[in-house]
Structure 1
Amino acid sequence: MKVYNLIHYVFILFFLAACSASRPFQLRETPPKIGSEPIEKGLAPIRGIQMYYEIHGEKDGIPLVLLNGGGSTIEVTYSRILPIFAQNRKVIALDEQGHGRTTDRNAPVSFDTSAEDVVALLKFLKVEQADIFGFSNGASVALQIAIKYPKLVRKLVFASSITKRNGAYPMFWNFMKNATFENMPQALKDAFLKVNPDPQKLYTMYEKDAVRMRNFKDLSDKEIRTVGIPTLILLGDRDVPKLEHAVEMVRMIPKARLLVLPGGHGDYLGEAIMSQGKDRYPELTSALIQDFLDSP
């Protein structure tokens, strides 16, 4: 079966399964309000930094941890979809090292160190097990947690990210090679400065994120195959990662499922920088993800 046909087939199966679940999905006449007031927020002393976190929703049970994309804040990546998740479960959102309201350390930002920071935060919050949803660079952080701390993660959503350099198109790497602070999207700059009005910290965050991507190192097939938890590989059909790469991951991770949604990087989240007003996407995406998280 050709790769395109396989992707199309898997997507249809997953969509039909969601629509036939005991709680059928229906779009509301009015989408949920953007934004959500946390029931708790603060700065946690984590491995030499002060990590900003928020807790939303009052439901008991396994919390859902949201990890942002690179150069982003909680609001940029998740402002439209977080309130929907919080209606049905407890949600923990956070800003990565040097991002948004979290302080920096005198060291690079890496997927490894950020994974250790998240694990330390969950320990601080006395969370013994969580579902983790990472988008873009946040997905790479989430995967590191799943590999190194398999008992901590019940289910993983790996959204719009890669495990190998050849998982993204060459034009992406060419762009990263020549990227400058000046061509960082103004909306990302504005979002950072809204919660942390220090231009130097914004510039430092950009530089560290750019270096992290330029120095991106492949994960081995052996490491990827160690992921034994249920995993949802999620991306847009016009995303930065290649569709073929997502299929390869599904074949390597024993309990992986694949979900491909229309749009580019972040469209399906209603991501504040990229979504271009597709207001119903977050509700559709959240319904499919929650069906995955609630499944046996």
Structure 2
Amino acid sequence: MAVQLRWPLDRFFKGEWIVPYADSNQADIYYEVMGEGEPLILIMGLGGNLDWWGSGFRKRLAQRRQVIACDNRAAGRTKSEKMDFSMEDMAEDVIALMDHLQCADADVFGMSMGGMIAQEMALRHPERVRRLILGCTSCGGKEQIRPTEAASRLLTMRPSNLEEAIMHQLQLLFPPDYIAKNQVLLKALSAVLGRQPMTHKDFMRQYQAIERWQGTFQRLPSLSQPTLILHGEEDILLPVGNSTILADRLPNAKRMIYPGCGHGFVVQMTAQVFQALEDFLII
């Protein structure tokens, strides 16, 4: 599959590196492509960008697949002129990226808010999504299980600096005992979380898009795609009960729960997650 690059002239004339962007409804969607083969699209969650997947994670998947990852609206290198955007807008952003890359259909892996975006993609454009992987996400709307009180405080608290913002993220991602026992790993992870940091204003733009979203609960039974649901048992951001709701509503779903893991279960259980992905995607 040929990858077409869009070269923004303002960046070119400033002498900056030429990087790939795709046009989508008042936004330039930044993306990266690794590997060859059947396409697999990765969609990150609230406040994150494609760096949060980790280059090692993407490279391993790219050994047998073409891996496409992007920065969502207002995150990382993707900017949005549209101030009050929606979950539907972000779903259409990924479809626009697929059009840009001449990608007729793909398997889609969405984490957290990315899983919400992936659900909207599959519901709005079922012919474009072959298989669906939903990591630590929910159906949204009034039927979802909302974050715990502690997680809600961390989400809406305005950090005073980048270090505090990263600490909030780590507390949302991992159980306290894991943080205490894995300081070296988390120091390296903090460096990734600190790349292309998001402003509090842009973070709240994404957060408000989630809050305004009516969710997918009523529509989920119409999805026929094979779906893999992955969730950490100790998730405080989107509690594990959300995975049960999704599994009960999706007619062709398999659910896997990771004991002792939080929202960041992919970091805590990397080998097991890879095995689940490989078995599901047959890569």
Aligned to 2:128: 152
Q: Is the 8 A contact 2:119 2:216 kept in 1?
A: no
Aligned with 1:257 (options 254, 258, 268) = 254
Instruction: Give the TM-score, by structure 2 length.
Output: 0.75
Q: Is the 8 A contact 1:81 1:283 kept in 2?
A: no
Deviations 1:118-160 (A, max 9, x none): 0011001000010000000000000000111000000000110
Q: Is the 8 A contact 2:86 2:213 kept in 1?
A: no
Partner Cα distance (2:46, 2:156) in 1 = 17
CA shift for structure 1 position 111: 1.2
Structure 2 residue 59 is matched with structure 1 residue 55 = no
Aligned residue type for 1:291: D
CA shift for structure 1 position 47: 2.3
* Partner SS for 1:233: strand
Unaligned runs of 5+ in 1: 1-39, 271-277
Instruction: Single out whichever of 64-73 and 165-174 deviates more from structure 2.
Output: 165-174
Structure 1 outlier segments of 4+, above 4 Å: 186-193
* Partner SS for 2:97: helix
Aligned residue type for 1:211: Q
Structure 2 residue 40 is matched with structure 1 residue 64 = yes
Structure 2 residue 69 is matched with structure 1 residue 93 = yes
Deviations 1:81-108 (A, max 9, x none): 2121111211001001111011222322
Q: Is the 8 A contact 1:176 1:213 kept in 2?
A: no
* Partner SS for 1:81: helix
Partner Cα distance (2:100, 2:115) in 1 = 22
Structure 2 residue 226 is matched with structure 1 residue 238 = no
Deviations 1:40-63 (A, max 9, x none): 9611222222111111012x2x20
CA pair 147-52 structure 1, distance change in 2 beyond 3 A: same
Aligned to 1:289: 277
Deviations 1:132-189 (A, max 9, x none): 0000000000000011100000000011011134423442674278432446335869
Partner Cα distance (1:235, 1:261) in 2 = 6
Aligned with 1:224 (options 220, 224, 233) = 220
Q: Is the 8 A contact 1:99 1:192 kept in 2?
A: no
* Partner SS for 2:127: coil
Partner Cα distance (1:119, 1:172) in 2 = 35
**What is the aligned-residue RMSD (CA, Å)?**
2.6
Q: Is the 8 A contact 1:57 1:90 kept in 2?
A: yes
Instruction: Give the TM-score, by structure 1 length.
Output: 0.72
* Partner SS for 1:167: coil
Partner Cα distance (2:69, 2:106) in 1 = 12
Partner Cα distance (2:92, 2:49) in 1 = 19
Unaligned runs of 5+ in 2: 1-17, 170-189
Q: Is the 8 A contact 2:74 2:206 kept in 1?
A: no
CA shift for structure 1 position 209: 2.2
Q: Is the 8 A contact 1:160 1:236 kept in 2?
A: yes
Aligned to 1:122: 98
Q: Percent identity?
A: 24
Aligned to 2:166: 185
Aligned to 1:266: 264
Structure 2 residue 83 is matched with structure 1 residue 102 = no
Aligned residue type for 1:237: E
Count of equivalent residues? 239
